[in-house]
Amino acid sequence: MTFILKIHALPVGCSDALALNEQAVYRSSMKTPVSVLRLPRGPEPNSRGFDPSSPRFIALCCSSSSSSDEEEQRLRSELRQRFLWTLSVMRDKLVQFDMHERVRVRARFGASDIDVLRFQVSDLETPLGVQREALLRCQDVLSCSFEL
């Protein structure tokens, strides 16, 4: 607990030289830091946020046609799930990639990164030879096909 003390009136006969000295030291070095109720809340690790139970969300989000939204969401989830299953089944299979500029290459599929930006492949057959290990940029891939 610190205070800035300023002597308002000193009685006659007091050792005022020392008191004033101490006063100067206190004033210059002791600024009380502003207190804080808590720190700002940070992001939740497993959620992108936008809490649907917040007052703002409830007030501003019209829940008209919620049933069709739910149906759409269900279909989207299903498609996403199928896509992810396809990627996992593709592992170690010989896959043909059709890319821009009529490029067609074949390779053994390894894995995809989390944002599906790159595919890790092995033994990539290119016009310049076979590349032992390679990364294919997903933006360049139009389609891929493989035998189940």
* Interacting residues with other proteins (CB under 8 A): 1-11, 14-15, 18-19, 22, 25, 29-44, 48-52, 54-57, 60-61, 115, 117
Q: Please report how close the Cβ of residue 116 comes to other proteins at its closest, in angstroms.
A: 9
Q: Which residue has the tokens 């096909």?
A: 145
Phi/psi of residue 52, nearest 5 degrees: -70, -10
Q: How far apart are CA 116 and CA 113, in angstroms?
A: 5
Q: Please report how close the Cβ of residue 146 comes to other proteins at its closest, in angstroms.
A: 25
Nearer to other proteins, 36 or 148 (CB): 36
Q: What angle do CA 132, 138, 141 make, to 5 degrees?
A: 90
Tokens of 140: 């360049």
Nearer to other proteins, 20 or 103 (CB): 20
Q: Determine contact, residues 4/30, Cβ cutoff 8 Å.
A: yes
Q: Please report how close the Cβ of residue 105 comes to other proteins at its closest, in angstroms.
A: 23
Nearer to other proteins, 2 or 86 (CB): 2
